[in-house]
Structure 1
Amino acid sequence: MPANAQPETPEPVGHPNSKSLGIYIGHELTADGSTLVGGFGHEPSSHWIEIVPRRSFPEDATMKVGVTDAARIPGELTTIPQARQTAKYITSNYSEFAGFPPPLTNGGLNEYGVAARDIWSPSRQELVDIAKQNAPQSGPNYSDLARVAMERATSAREAAALVGRLIDEHGFSTYGGNSHLFADSEEAWVFINYAAKGLWAAKRIGPDEVRVMYPGYIHAFPADFKQRDGYMGSDNLVSFAREQGWWDGEGSLNLQEVYGKPFPADVEQDYYPQFYADARNPVAREAELREMAPVSVKDLMAYVRDPRWSTDFTGYSQVAHIRPDAPKQLHTLWTAITSGITTPFVPIPIATTSVPPEFSQHRYMTKNASSHFLDPDYGPLEATRYATRTFKRLLYHTCEHPSDFLHPVTGEIERFETGLLAQRDDVEARAKALLADGKTDAMQRLLTRDVHDNLLASLNLGQDLVQAVEQQTRTKYGIRMPEGERAAGETTPATSQAMARHGWGAMIHCYQKELDEYPRPHGLYNDSPDLTY
């Protein structure tokens, strides 16, 4: 390339690969000595809560992994051995990412108190080019690896080692680079999956540290990592960097400089609103969270729903609460079924056996759902309200006029969450008493009933808030209709029209700089004027 030439910007397919947020707060920096893991997924598809039970498989069982030829970097599906016994875990599943077979997951929380988040981490362009040149690719994709970690890992360290071993043995199907955050009650491990050559690295993060992966990254990494505790990596991690001339062989490697991209990546400034691009700087976010210490569950919920990143692109939100002195049945995943900006977090302990139908998968936003009539077996499920749709409606109405509605809606939601937090000691005391008496089934029924009641109460609140905000919007502004004409069969304006008005980074969001100081503490808007509903 001539010295004065500009690198070509690749044509994006949908939105660029800037997905998901992962946050780890070590137990020495939290208000109650627990480990906290927060974040969200970033996907435009149907979302639902899944409680996956413990399962047993025959000795020769396999699981299908990988991507299809429809992926951005084409691949082929293969199989890997399945574990004989898998762990129970709670997750948020979703239905669509190009060429990645559903259902997809970014992690969650398992019965051993291991939390996992999957986060975008773009590799340098040369590695992406190598992956494309060697297509079709094969091996587990990011969702396969997150699922295996949830099914098999009893600690964060074991999760990192397991994922690395799977890549070594079976390869990795990438969309351009990825990362994982694994945590337990003692520590966390950051794991980076680079886009080609089976390259991977993992680093321990201690209980006195904060890590924000937005995107996922590792900076300093010793060249002799195999002789050091707290580091893992592929056999070629150091040698390949030196062969390519990306590292001079002196001192430690800065893996983000050697194998990754600068963050926030310059090219993304063209796609997204400036506030959103600026927010994706993990070092700056880590400094904010360190200043907040000691961090509580409600602090992290408020941080995950911060308008700087909680937008329509946020598919769901989670905060895992891992306490070293709690029975494993009470490890809890606080879950917002869609974007936390207008969705309450509800606590789901590991002992829970189910969620209401309203929080299970529905046809809304599920690929190809419009191509056929409903299977009669699914009629009763589809007859229920769909929580994702309700809270999406609340997001769209609230973000249309955030100066009118964001603070009141946030206040109502956080008052609801404060009530849930106040109930936890009593609910858990009753659960512990049942456990002490050996009444495990009764304990599970108690917690499952509590989860059902709380989720349905959150949905009722969401429905009331939608009605109130919509009514006030109609009265004060009317309902704004889209510009231009729709292409035949499309639910959005023709792509060329949308591009002309918004560009690739068009998103619905509630951010207004003049509205807030950031970060926003939980409960800041509890005194906001009530919405009439």
Structure 2
Amino acid sequence: MSYGIYIGKNHAAAGHGWLAGYGDEPSSHWLEVVPRASHPTGSTVTVGVDATAEMPGHRTDIPQVPETSRHLRVSYSYFLGVPAPITNGGLNEHGVAVRDIWSPGRPELIAMTPTDQTGPTYSDLARLVLERARTAREGVDLIGALIAEHGYSCYGGNSHIIADPDEAWVVLQYPGGLRLWVAERLGPDSIRASRPGYITAIPAQPNADFQFPDHFIATAIQLGWYDPAQGQFNPNAVYGDGKGRWDGVAWIEDELRARAARPEKIAFDDVVWAIATERLTGDTAGYGQVVPLVHPRHDALRVMWHAPIGPVTAPHVPVFMGMTEVPPEYGPHRYLTTGEAARFHDRRKVIARPNSVSSVPQGAEITRSAMQIFKHLMHAVFQDHETMLPIVQKHWRGHEARFAAELADVLRSAEVLIDAGEGRLATRLLDQHVRACLLMTLDEAGHLLRGLEAMLRVGGKLNLDHQTYRGPAQIW
């Protein structure tokens, strides 16, 4: 399902907006820095789903652009048969940030979706926006153009929040094979949460704040789902689940508006709280992201805060557009990676069984999996959450405060080096800082895990009943 929050800059203590959220998938996740790349004339990129997806279709090739942008993202290995690697978004070198969030379509639209659907998936759209868009509005236009030309391969409906330092857009895509999508602009006074994504009112024609294809309203009239005499068109009621804001969305939006009304407004720790609170974040959260929406003097100094699993029991660490290395501990591992259970590193059977070779480098498998360790820590905490959750959350929030206090000096040091023509040294500085922070928090997660496991065993609280689950109550 996933979860995203946009906070406009007029509500923020730092004077800039924020985009934050988490991915809500159970498979393996890993952090990636994807370099800028040039592509020969005539290059293509493969998009869509195949016959094995839960809502099947055909993979197709669409034209590649001459150059794709550098970006940071989290990838993962499985969701409803969508071909891996999959992504919900991240941040690109131009300051465009993307969050993907589920948004269910009307049952009739799901039923009429062709079994030979073609076109980009939700993941393809998120990735293509990161690779190609220079502004949030360009991302909206790109999604509209891709769907119009190539179609859309869905799993029942979806949405994205696309943001830059000036504005953000909520973009919904609907099932049915009818190439239906709609987008709403969010500005400096907006606070918007998506889980699922929603838009509840649009004008009769597209304008500066709303975008949709020419046939968007006409299709609903033709299907008998909307009569203009009923009043303003409500996409959620007509094409979506008809529920409007879900309870969790209403709760967090109201909480953030209350915090924004304070003299101090919304600070970094408030944004982290919004995606780390146990009322909204639990076992399903695969990772966390917080992006400050700013334009630094150098693109290399753009920041994305990354948590290796749901931040309810994990810390966010700042990572940088200008870094070049992700420690293998935070890269792909076989743990929870789809298909790896039947694969080997030994390549002797590759001719007889081409799919028998692991997709994960052998060297990576001798390193710790950050996702695995932090996931184990989450479940250790949850089994005694009344006692341990406040302690562990205080620990990680303290680290985030320290990282935030150090961040200005790190960025200024890198800026001085770049200005002096020492870009290589700036990159080395960023790589070393990220590596030190990521591995230090991973070490501490291991220590916490071992201590909590011992306490659970001695206290008789180790839950070995697979039919019961211990953890905080969530709104969704």
TM-score bracket for this pair, using the shorter chain length: over 0.9
Residue of structure 2 equivalent to 1:40: 22
Q: Which amino acid aligns with 1:472?
A: M
Matches within 5 A, 1:47-62: 47-62=29-44
Verify: 1:349 aligned to 2:349, yes or no.
no
Matches within 5 A, 1:305-454: 305-375=276-346, 378-454=361-437
Query: Does the 8 A contact of 1:312 with 1:508 survive in 2?
Result: no
Residue of structure 1 equivalent to 2:211: 232
Q: SS of 2:137's equivalent?
A: helix
Distance 2:56 2:252 in 1: 34
Query: Does the 8 A contact of 2:280 with 2:474 survive in 1?
Result: no
Q: Which amino acid aligns with 1:190?
A: V
Distance 1:375 1:449, change over 3 A: farther
Residue of structure 1 equivalent to 2:70: 88
Residue of structure 1 equivalent to 2:451: 468
Query: Does the 8 A contact of 1:109 with 1:115 survive in 2?
Result: yes
Matches within 5 A, 1:208-247: 208-225=189-206, 228-247=207-226
Residue of structure 1 equivalent to 2:472: 510
- Select 1:292's aligned residue among 244, 259, 265: 259
Q: SS of 1:204's equivalent?
A: strand
Distance 1:96 1:239, change over 3 A: same
Verify: 1:301 aligned to 2:284, yes or no.
no
Per-residue deviation, residues 297-339 of structure 1 (Å, max 9, x unmatched)? 2211111011122111101110011224553222211010111
Residue of structure 1 equivalent to 2:157: 177
Q: Report percent identity of matched pairs.
A: 39
Segments of 5+ residues of structure 1 without an aligned counterpart are: 1-18, 266-276, 484-500, 514-533
Distance 1:375 1:122 in 2: 42
Query: Does the 8 A contact of 1:73 with 1:136 survive in 2?
Result: no
Q: Which amino acid aligns with 2:418?
A: L
Shift of residue 284 of structure 1?
Answer: 3.4
Distance 1:324 1:405, change over 3 A: same
Please, which moves more after superposition, 159-168 or 289-298? 289-298
- Superposition CA RMSD, Å: 1.7
Distance 2:209 2:341 in 1: 49
Query: Does the 8 A contact of 2:129 with 2:142 survive in 1?
Result: yes
Per-residue deviation, residues 50-109 of structure 1 (Å, max 9, x unmatched)? 111101111111111101112121111111111110001111110011321100000000
Q: SS of 1:39's equivalent?
A: strand
Residue of structure 1 equivalent to 2:55: 73
Shift of residue 47 of structure 1?
Answer: 0.6
Query: Does the 8 A contact of 2:160 with 2:172 survive in 1?
Result: yes
Residue of structure 2 equivalent to 1:188: 168
Per-residue deviation, residues 342-372 of structure 1 (Å, max 9, x unmatched)? 1110001111111101000000001121213
Q: Which amino acid aligns with 1:257?
A: A
Q: SS of 1:221's equivalent?
A: coil
Distance 1:437 1:232 in 2: 44
- Select 1:28's aligned residue among 4, 7, 10: 10
Distance 1:296 1:328 in 2: 23
Q: SS of 1:404's equivalent?
A: helix
Q: Which amino acid aligns with 2:337?
A: T
Q: SS of 1:145's equivalent?
A: helix
Shift of residue 375 of structure 1?
Answer: 4.3
Residue of structure 2 equivalent to 1:156: 136
Query: Does the 8 A contact of 1:187 with 1:206 survive in 2?
Result: yes
Query: Does the 8 A contact of 2:40 with 2:66 survive in 1?
Result: yes
Distance 2:286 2:221 in 1: 39
Query: Does the 8 A contact of 2:236 with 2:243 survive in 1?
Result: no
Query: Does the 8 A contact of 2:345 with 2:362 survive in 1?
Result: yes
Distance 1:46 1:76 in 2: 25
Distance 1:309 1:346 in 2: 20
Distance 1:375 1:124 in 2: 47
Q: SS of 2:255's equivalent?
A: helix
Distance 1:509 1:354 in 2: 35
Distance 1:470 1:255, change over 3 A: same
Shift of residue 39 of structure 1?
Answer: 0.5
Shift of residue 46 of structure 1?
Answer: 0.6
Distance 1:127 1:426, change over 3 A: same
Distance 1:478 1:190, change over 3 A: closer
Q: Which amino acid aligns with 1:435?
A: I
Q: SS of 2:312's equivalent?
A: helix
Residue of structure 2 equivalent to 1:14: none
Distance 1:325 1:42 in 2: 30
Query: Does the 8 A contact of 1:402 with 1:512 survive in 2?
Result: no
Q: Which amino acid aligns with 1:399?
A: F
Distance 1:66 1:264 in 2: 29
Per-residue deviation, residues 234-268 of structure 1 (Å, max 9, x unmatched)? 22101011112222114421111111113379xxx
Distance 1:467 1:263 in 2: 43
Q: How many residues align?
A: 457
Distance 1:240 1:41 in 2: 32
Query: Does the 8 A contact of 1:400 with 1:510 survive in 2?
Result: no
Segments of 5+ residues of structure 2 without an aligned counterpart are: 348-359
Distance 1:462 1:92 in 2: 20
Please, which moves more after superposition, 358-367 or 240-249? 240-249
Distance 1:43 1:477, change over 3 A: same
TM-score, reference length from structure 2 = 0.93
Shift of residue 508 of structure 1?
Answer: 6.0
Q: Which amino acid aligns with 2:305?
A: W
Query: Does the 8 A contact of 1:113 with 1:331 survive in 2?
Result: yes
Shift of residue 278 of structure 1?
Answer: 4.2
Q: SS of 2:15's equivalent?
A: coil
Verify: 1:283 aligned to 2:250, yes or no.
yes
Distance 1:46 1:408 in 2: 27
